[in-house]
Amino acid sequence: MASLSFSSSLYTTSQIQRLSSLPLKPQHLRKKSIPAVQSKIREIFMPALSSTMTEGKIVSWVKSEGDVLSKGESVVVVESDKADMDVETFYDGILAAIVVNEGETAPVGAPIGLVAETEDEIADAKAKAQSKSQSPAVPASSAPTPAPKTETPAPPPPSPVAAPADGPRKTVATPYAKKLAKQHKVDINKVIGTGPFGRITPEDVEKAAGIVPAKSPAPAAATTPAPSVAAAAPGKAPAAAALPEIPGATVVPFTTMQAAVSKNMVESLTVPTFRVGYPISTDALDALYEKVKKKGVTMTALLAKAAAMALIQHPVVNSTCKDGKSFTYNSNINIAVAVAINGGLITPVLQDADKLDLYLLSQKWKELVEKARAKQLQPQEYNSGTFTLSNLGMFGVDRFDAILPPGQGAIMAVGASKPTVVADADGFFSVKNKMQVNVTADHRIIYGADLSAFLQTFSKIIENPDSLTM
């Protein structure tokens, strides 16, 4: 299991200072004096295990309260957004108190435990831990206070409803209402207006003439929508959340990894993307795979190697746009490959895929998959990708579109290779294996011509794969 050391802060109270040599007044001396208490209680912080991690979950405490700790020893296992990692200590001491228990989460930088230097300080550490565990409850109790405030302003809006009582005393009509009254021979002075301040509306005239249109109920409520709409405005947010519950449904909260995937997918929607599809013949690639799979080479390694070789010739597809104002050309070609694991999705990265031979690349890929399924990947092994490959062909999926990961310029979605009837230049038909490749790209830095040229190069490598084994 991966490991990481945490940083800690030192809390040492001041000792009685000898100030007799300083020309201070007695009152100054009293302010500076503090009872002599010497203690060293260090906090174990929630570490940042990746650049995207904002909080961590305690999987398990390797040590229990009262256990003696040695420098470099694992203390706790923390679940980040992508992996579980052992956290080691930099100091010798005693695990005096556990602030965050197993299964609970804490933001990065928050104290999760306290380490005392001696047994005499354990009681102080436990008291400090209790105060820290109670402090998060303070904002929770203050949260309900705004709720009553929102209820008290609600009653005043209905008061404007009484305003129309003054209105009917005036005989005011709209021009179109007067025209209708003349047309239907209705005495305008005898019509009771339902508009603002008693204004006579066309609907009022039609009603007086005995014509009842389908829209007639709407004007009758014309005076009441003002307060009701005002009251509905703040209720829009709860209305969106108040979806009908399905009987028997079970709500399961996201795991840390699922929450990270959700956050990244929503973030990716802010990037303007476009998609280009390309059919590629795979007869030669299938033949090569049959030869090299006996040596441990996987189809994923073949596709990753082909993509890396194509990216060498088209560096713009390997670039990223981080600020919306410039290109970032990556000097390394790191192919991230999407892998489904229990409870989530992760993208182990084949770093410098263009510089590794096919067999070494396959060996590296197997190691990454094993570490990913054991949740032991180091951050640089899953967050350093410059181009992503997603292959669902092994499941028989013939084509699909992939969502662009944040911080990358393009992602390739590879479908299954299937027999396809094709016609040659002379009009003769034949059957060839073809796979559909769809690439989603950031349109701010990669254009249609760039992506088309890249796919043409990738297609040539797949259809003539001898270069993959060189």
Which of 2-11, 219-228, 395-404 shows the lowest per-residue confidence on average (mean pLDDT)? 219-228
Q: What is the pLDDT of residue 166?
A: 44
Spatial CA neighbour of 95 closest among 73, 72, 75, 120: 75
Q: What is the pLDDT of residues 281-339, one digit of tens each?
A: 999 999 999 999 999 999 999 999 999 999 999 999 999 998 888 889 999 999 999 99
Q: Does the structure show a pLDDT above 90 at 340?
A: no
Q: What is the pLDDT of residue 2?
A: 53
Alpha-carbon distance of 278 to 435, in angstroms, equals 8
Q: What is the mean pLDDT of the chain?
A: 77
Q: What is the pLDDT of residue 158?
A: 40
Q: Does the structure show a pLDDT above 70 at 369?
A: yes
Q: What is the pLDDT of residues 163-213, one digit of tens each?
A: 344 444 456 777 777 888 888 888 888 888 887 767 788 888 888 887 755
pLDDT band at 225 (very low <50, low <70, confident <90, very high): very low
Cross-strand pairs, 335: 350, 387
Q: What is the pLDDT of residues 390-400, one digit of tens each?
A: 999 989 999 99
pTM higher than 0.75 for the full model? no
The catalytic residues are 443
* Per-residue CA distances from 261 to 81, 153, 258, 382 (Å): 8, 40, 5, 13
Q: What is the pLDDT of residue 233?
A: 44
Q: What is the pLDDT of residue 221?
A: 42
Beta carbons of 217 and 189 less than 8 angstroms apart? no
Which of 111-125, 403-417, 438-452 shows the lowest per-residue confidence on average (mean pLDDT)? 111-125
Of 59-68, 132-141, 442-451, which one has max mean pLDDT?
A: 442-451
Q: What is the pLDDT of residue 135?
A: 52
Which residue is listed with tokens 């003002």?
Answer: 226
What does the pLDDT average to over 21-29? 46
Q: Does the structure show a pLDDT above 60 at 430?
A: yes
Cross-strand pairs, 78: 58, 85
Alpha-helical runs (H) found in 210-298: 217-220, 225-232, 236-241, 256-268, 283-292
